[in-house]
Amino acid sequence: MDINSFRKVIKQREETDDEWDYGIEQCWKKEIEILSEDIPSTIDFLKNECTDEEYSWISEVIDDVVDQNPSKELVECYKSLKDKFPEEYAKYNISGVVEICENILKWEEENGKK
């Protein structure tokens, strides 16, 4: 995972007006691409370098990352950060995002890979 590129995209996302759908979608697309390119390194990033702000921004796209790359380890790692970032976990309803991710994994398990 290219952390510097990811952080640039997050900065761009922060600066993008929430009314500008195309700009937001382009940021999300880049975030998903970076987070998906190497799941083990993404997990390492989450465990060791992810900030509270990055954790909250990732909540916008983590379900898409899991949909493309069903990884129980990724979901468990992301979920476990609730202890490190409890305010963000509550404020951004990350429990709901985690539930979506777990449902994606459950569907994959029951129906096979896409």
Taking only the tens place, the pLDDT of each residue in 62-81 is: 999 999 999 999 999 999 99
The set of residues, in sequence order, having a beta carbon less than 8 Å from that of 94 and lying 6+ positions away, is: 55, 56, 59, 82, 88
Domain count, the chain: 1
d(CA 20, CA 102): 30
User: What is the residue range of 94's domain?
Assistant: 3-111
Rg (CA), the chain: 14
The two structure tokens encoding residue 45: 């990033």
Average pLDDT over residues 24-39: 96
The pTM assigned to this predicted structure is 0.90
Q: Work out the mean pLDDT of the chain and round it to a whole number.
A: 93
